[in-house]
Amino acid sequence: MPAMNHAYRWGLLAALLGGTAVRAEGTPKIQFDRTSYDFGVTSLVESVTGTFTFQNTGDADLELEKPKPSCGCTVASFTSEKLRPGEKGELVFTIQLGTAAHQRLSKLITVSSNDPEHPVLQLGIMVQTKSVLTAEPPSINLGTLRLGAVTNATVMIRRNDGKKLTITKVEASSDLMAATAKPTGDGDPQAARLQVEFKATGLPRRFSEQIRLSTDDSVGAVLTVFVSARLLGDIELEPETLSWGMPDPTNWKDEDTEVILSRSIIITSRQTERPLLLRNVSCSRKEVEVKLVTLQKGQEYEIVATLPKRLTKTLEGTINFETNLPSLPKVEVPLTISVWTP
C-alpha cells in the first residue's frame, strides 16, 4: 500500500508539473485599437498613409504573417512581426490614389497570426477623393500617325476651388512627348494651357501614355492627361509585343495546367515600293529558340518563338530582326514570359 501511495504521489506531481508546463506556454492574443480607418474626403494628394496600432494582450509571444492588402494599390507592413506579451506594434499602410477626378475607395488588409481565437482579421480602409483640377479635353487621341510625323495638341487646365493655379511639374511618361504648361494669355489665374508636342518614332504600334501634373500645394501628381495614337510604318506587327505566361513547374502539377511553349509574331508589309525581306532573326535570351517562316514572299512573314522546356522564373528580352527597309533597318520586339506562382 505504501508503494502505491508513493507511485500515486509521483503521478500526481507529474500531472501538476505537466499542467504547469502547458500553462507556461500561454496563449497570444492580438488586439487592435481599431479595425477600420476612414480618411474622409481628401484632395491634392497622390497617396494616403495611415497606421493601425495593436497590442499582444495575451501571455505568449504573438507571431504575425505578412499583411495581405486586397489590391496592388495598397502596401502594408508591420514594424515588428513578433511581439512579446504586453508589447505594442504598428501596421503602416499606404494607398496609391491615382488621379481620378472623383472616387470612393474601400480597401481591406488581411492580418494572420498565431492568435487561436482570431487567427485571421480584416482591417477596413475608406477614402474619398475630390479633384480640384479639370482638363478639357480630359484625354488626347491623336488618331493614326505615320512614323516620322510631328503633331501638337492643347489641353486647358482649370482649378475649381477659387485658388490660383500654379503648375510646378509636368511629367511625360514617354520621350515621344514634350509637354509644358503656359498661361492662357487672358489673365485668368485659375487656368493654364498645356501644350503637347508628339513625335511619332520607333516601331509601328498602338501608343498609350500619360502626362502627369503637380501643383505648388499638391503632394505628388494630382492630374493625369492620357495620350493615345496609332503609329503606322512600312510594316505591321501582330502582336506588337510578345508575351505569355506559364505555371511554376515546382508548384503546379502538369496534369492540372495547360502550358504554352510557343508563340508567334506576324510581320506584314504596308508599303508597295519594294518586296519586304527579313534576315538575321534572333532572340536576346538563349532560352528561347526563334524560326522565320515565309507566309507570302515579299509580303508576310511569321517569327515563331519556342521554349525547349518550361521555365522556372520569369524571362524578359527581345526578338530581333533586320529588314531591307530604310525606315526600319533593325527591329526589336519586346518579349516577356511570366512564370506564375500559386
**Per-residue confidence of the chain (342 residues) as pLDDT tens digits?**
444 455 445 444 444 444 444 444 789 999 999 999 999 888 888 889 999 999 999 999 999 999 999 988 899 999 999 999 999 999 999 998 876 667 788 999 999 999 999 999 999 999 988 888 999 999 999 999 999 999 999 999 999 989 999 999 999 999 999 999 999 989 899 999 999 999 999 889 999 999 999 999 988 888 999 999 999 999 999 999 999 998 887 777 665 567 889 999 999 999 888 899 999 999 999 999 999 999 999 999 999 999 998 888 999 999 999 999 998 999 999 999 999 876
Please state, as a whole number, how many other Cβ atoms lie within 10 Å of the Cβ of residue 103: 13
CB 79 within 8 A of CB 89: yes
Specify the CATH superfamily of domain 235-340.
Immunoglobulins (2.60.40.10)
Alpha carbon distance 30, 40 (integer Å): 27
Verify cis geometry, omega within 30 degrees of 0, for the bond prior to 137. yes
The pTM for the full model equals 0.69
Helix, strand, coil % in the chain, rounded to nearest 5: 10, 55, 35
Query: In what order do the strands lie in the sheet containing 133-136?
Result: 133-136, 150-159, 191-199, 177-182
Q: Which CATH architecture has domain 30-130?
A: Sandwich (2.60)
CB 157 within 8 A of CB 167: yes
CATH of 133-232, one of 1.10.1740.10, 2.60.40.10, 2.40.50.140, 2.160.10.10: 2.60.40.10
Burial 41-55 (b: 16+ CB within 10 A, else e): eebbbeebebebebb
Delimit the domains of the chain by residue range.
30-130, 133-232, 235-340
Alpha carbon distance 172, 42 (integer Å): 25
Reported in sequence order, the residue ranges of 119-232 that DSSP labels E, i.e. its strands, are: 120-130, 133-136, 139-146, 150-159, 167-172, 177-182, 191-199, 205-215, 223-232
Grid cell digits, residue 103: 472616387
Domains 133-232 and 235-340 share a fold: yes
Q: What are phi and psi of 51, to 5 degrees?
A: -140, 130
Alpha carbon distance 294, 304 (integer Å): 11
